[in-house]
């Protein structure tokens, strides 16, 4: 339109009452933020793919007395030499269906249940 009427873009934008940055803004089609990384660094083995991390998590979960979530699993993997964040491990475990979201322990009503009565009923001195 500015070429048709031989007027500059800045004057046309000012006449319309538009902000200059919104005129020149190009919308991005997609998600915001960085893409998730495909590799995790191990201190001895170097970069490892997500499949290698999943295999490590499964090998830790094979032990009979280990049943943990992503936060404790993060500390286990860090102890093994991985450089991994708990948020990244949550995403990886969620994609591999290793999170136990249905079997969670409800801790909202728990507490000291062995104390039921505040007043003690005595029968003798």
| Domain chopping of the chain, boundaries | 39-96
Residue with the bigger pLDDT between 112 and 29: it is 29
**Model pLDDT, residue 111:** 61
Upper half-sphere CA count for residue 118 (Cβ side, 13 Å): 0
Residues 31-60 pLDDT 10s:
888 888 999 999 999 999 999 999 999 999
36 vs 33: CA distance, rounded Å: 9
73 vs 88: CA distance, rounded Å: 12
pTM for the predicted model, two decimal places: 0.61
**Model pLDDT, residue 74:** 95
């Amino acid at each position: 339109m500015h070429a048709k009427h031989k007027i500059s873009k800045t004057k046309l934008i000012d006449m319309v009452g538009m902000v200059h940055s919104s005129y020149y803004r190009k919308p991005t089609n997609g998600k915001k933020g960085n893409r998730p990384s495909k590799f995790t660094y191990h201190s001895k083995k170097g970069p490892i793919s997500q499949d290698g991390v999943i295999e490590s998590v499964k090998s830790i979960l094979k032990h009979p007395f280990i049943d943990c979530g992503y936060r404790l699993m993060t500390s286990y993997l860090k102890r093994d030499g991985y450089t991994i964040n708990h948020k990244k491990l949550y995403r990886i475990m969620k994609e591999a269906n290793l999170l136990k979201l249905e079997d969670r322990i409800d801790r909202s009503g728990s507490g000291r249940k062995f104390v039921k009565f505040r007043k003690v009923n005595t029968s003798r001195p």
